């Protein structure tokens, strides 16, 4: 009868045919036994009826059932590229999820497997925010494919406060212990608060007169921004111009990158960084601490939050606030200012009483 589907044979194998949302589905029952094929058809029809009763429950075709997490991530990457969301951070998260889950079929991934993965990442020292970004990317892949995702618990990031900072003397000593190209790279981070990946992406075509324009595709938040070349920044760029010539296979060429190692992009330099920090007496500091330091110093210098965020590239005040952290020095200065205010107030009051 109509709606009951059918079984038919192709060679020695039985197949089933039925309709879902007006479209015929043909699937191999993977058996040469007709009764087993009919049993398979009945099971599939139950799924069709459940879908018809509740449209929010998608019907999973054989093609969808074969999709792996890698397939979902490839589709998500394409979607990000089309929507201009293919920032370095998003692409990095996609690559990581694809590496960690890629071979698993999407319909087979369970909440237990995800929970175990989260525990492993935390045990390996990854921050809760990092793990949340990875699981959020995984969830986005399912959403784009219109597939039911396994339960994914978002970790509580409260208390995930940034705490590492450099003082001016400290970072100057660190730079003195680094190779010239890495010292310039570090100085740019110290002066602008720009992220490591964003700095590494800068090219000479991004220099427009006395400003550098960070392209949207190279910004973590996907939004372009500019950095005016003032003071030491201007001197730094002039120095990088002089270092633009590189010799490759005996030929002198001009590097397209502002910051490079013999013409090659600057990627990881953890060993050099760790050694220079240890020699400077500040072991364990992170390159990202330059960004935290820049944000806090902008605020201490009296720069408004809106302008500071336009320089640092923070999209939301909530994220910016996590970088603008007060410490003992700020508190001490605040108390000194209050006491000074009160002393002046008392003097003004006494002077007013004396006159009266």
Please write the tens of the pLDDT for every residue from 83-122.
878 777 889 899 999 999 988 999 889 999 999 999 999 8
The answer on 186 and 112 residing in a single domain is no
The answer on 308 and 206 residing in a single domain is yes
CA 332 from chain centre, in angstroms, equals: 35
- Look at residue 125 in the predicted model and tell me its pLDDT: 78
pTM higher than 0.85 = no
pLDDT at 55 over 80: no
Mind listing the pLDDT tens digit for each residue in 137-188?
Answer: 999 999 998 888 899 989 987 665 556 889 999 999 999 999 999 999 999 9
Q: Which residue has the tokens 């890495």?
A: 182
In a domain, 336, yes or no: no
Question: How far are the Cα atoms of 12, 37, 113, 209, 278 from residue 332, in angstroms, in the given order?
Answer: 85, 79, 49, 42, 29
Helix (H, G, I), strand (E, B) or coil at 61: coil
pLDDT at 343 over 90: no
The answer on 74 and 16 residing in a single domain is no
Distance between terminal CA atoms of the chain? Answer: 106
Q: What is the mean pLDDT of residues 249-272?
A: 90
Tell me the percentage of the chain whose pLDDT exceeds 70.
87
pLDDT at 335 over 90: no
Q: Give me 281's structure tokens.
A: 């007496």
In a domain, 349, yes or no: no
d(CA 32, CA 25): 19
In a domain, 303, yes or no: yes
Name the residue with higher pLDDT: 44 or 33: 33
The answer on 172 and 315 residing in a single domain is yes
d(CA 291, CA 309): 12
pLDDT band at 61 (very low <50, low <70, confident <90, very high): low
User: Where does a domain end: 38, 59, 80?
Assistant: 59
d(CA 205, CA 212): 9
Q: What is the mean pLDDT of residues 262-280?
A: 92
In a domain, 153, yes or no: no
Largest CA distance in the chain: 114
In a domain, 156, yes or no: no
In a domain, 197, yes or no: yes
The answer on 74 and 39 residing in a single domain is no
- Look at residue 211 in the predicted model and tell me its pLDDT: 92
Give the count of domains, the chain. 3
Q: What is the mean pLDDT of residues 246-259?
A: 89
pLDDT at 63 over 80: no
Determine the structural domain holding residue 42 and report its residue range.
6-59
Q: What is the mean pLDDT of residues 43-72?
A: 79
DSSP 1: -
Mind listing the pLDDT tens digit for each residue in 185-228?
Answer: 999 999 999 999 999 999 999 999 999 999 988 887 778 898 99
CATH code at position 212? 1.10.443.10
User: Where does a domain end: 130, 145, 160?
Assistant: 145
The answer on 115 and 22 residing in a single domain is no
- Look at residue 340 in the predicted model and tell me its pLDDT: 80
């Amino acid at each position: 009868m109509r709606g009951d589907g059918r079984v038919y044979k192709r060679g020695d194998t039985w197949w089933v045919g039925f309709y879902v949302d007006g479209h015929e589905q043909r699937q191999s029952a993977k058996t040469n036994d007709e009764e087993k094929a009919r049993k398979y058809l009945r099971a599939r029809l139950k799924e069709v009826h459940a879908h018809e009763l509740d449209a929010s429950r998608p019907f999973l075709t054989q093609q969808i059932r074969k999709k792996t997490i890698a397939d979902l991530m490839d589709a998500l990457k394409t979607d990000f590229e089309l929507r201009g969301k293919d920032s370095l951070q998003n692409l990095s998260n996609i690559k990581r999820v694809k590496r960690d889950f890629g071979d698993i079929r999407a319909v087979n991934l369970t909440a237990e497997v995800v929970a175990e993965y989260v525990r492993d990442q935390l045990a390996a020292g990854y921050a809760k925010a990092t793990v949340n970004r990875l699981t959020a990317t995984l969830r986005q892949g399912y959403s784009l494919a219109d597939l039911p995702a396994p339960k994914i618990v978002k970790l509580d990031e409260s208390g995930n406060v940034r705490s590492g900072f450099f003082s001016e003397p400290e970072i100057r000593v660190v730079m003195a212990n680094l190779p010239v190209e890495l010292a310039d790279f570090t100085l740019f981070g110290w002066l602008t608060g720009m992220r490591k990946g964003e700095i590494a992406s800068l090219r000479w075509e991004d220099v427009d007169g006395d400003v550098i324009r960070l392209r949207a595709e190279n910004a973590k938040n996907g939004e372009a921004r500019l950095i005016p070349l003032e003071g030491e920044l201007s001197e730094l760029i002039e120095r990088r111009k002089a270092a633009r010539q590189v010799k490759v296979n005996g030929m002198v060429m001009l590097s397209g990158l502002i910051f490079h190692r013999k013409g090659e992009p600057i990627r990881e330099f953890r060993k050099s960084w760790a050694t220079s920090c240890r020699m400077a007496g500040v072991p364990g500091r992170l390159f990202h601490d330059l960004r935290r330091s820049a944000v806090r110093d902008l605020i201490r210098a009296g720069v408004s939050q809106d302008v500071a965020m336009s320089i640092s590239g923070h999209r939301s005040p909530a994220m910016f606030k996590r970088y603008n952290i007060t410490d003992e020095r700020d508190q001490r200065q605040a108390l000194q200012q209050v006491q000074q205010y009160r002393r002046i107030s008392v003097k003004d009051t006494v002077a007013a009483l004396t006159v009266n």
